């Protein structure tokens, strides 16, 4: 665990986490069809009449539900711990912002 004692440590840790999220996004985007469009997997929901923005919100709700559960209990899926889920939620927020910006 990283103890943060001052504003400089706070900003340094935030930069580390943002850099980590960029790397996660690169890998996941490649896995989810980013060569076609960085939003390709979210656009699939539109074939069902669900706006891509709403599809992202659904995924964010899934992450919030998981976070609420993991605050009270250990993860049963070893590679999906609380820290990973928090990073995923942050990434979904940024993805939603970028999709919104690209459409407005």
In a domain, 1, yes or no: no
51-58 contacts at long range (C-beta below 8 A, 24 or more positions apart):
52/99, 53/96, 53/99, 53/100, 56/92, 56/95, 56/96, 56/99, 57/96
In a domain, 2, yes or no: no
Tally the domains of the chain: 1
In a domain, 14, yes or no: yes
What is the reported pLDDT for 34?
66
pTM of the shown model: 0.89
User: What average pLDDT does this structure show over 78-94?
Assistant: 92
Nearest to 88 by CA among 69, 68, 60: 60
- Alpha-carbon span 83 to 33, nearest angstrom: 25
Say which residue, 2 or 98, is predicted with more confidence.
98
In a domain, 96, yes or no: yes
- Alpha-carbon span 53 to 99, nearest angstrom: 7
**5-60 confidence digits (pLDDT tens):** 999 999 999 999 999 999 999 998 888 876 788 898 899 999 999 999 999 999 99
The residue segments making up the domain with residue 57 are 7-103
In a domain, 84, yes or no: yes
In a domain, 13, yes or no: yes
């Amino acid at each position: 665990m990283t103890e943060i004692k001052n504003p400089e440590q706070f900003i340094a840790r935030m930069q580390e986490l943002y850099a980590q999220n960029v790397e996660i996004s690169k890998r996941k985007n490649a896995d989810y069809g980013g060569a076609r469009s960085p939003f390709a997997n979210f656009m699939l929901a539109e074939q069902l009449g669900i706006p891509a923005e709403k599809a992202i919100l659904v995924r964010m709700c899934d992450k919030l539900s998981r976070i609420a559960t993991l605050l009270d209990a250990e993860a049963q899926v070893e590679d999906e711990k609380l820290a990973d889920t928090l990073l995923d939620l942050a990434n979904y927020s940024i993805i939603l912002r970028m999709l919104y910006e690209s459409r407005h």
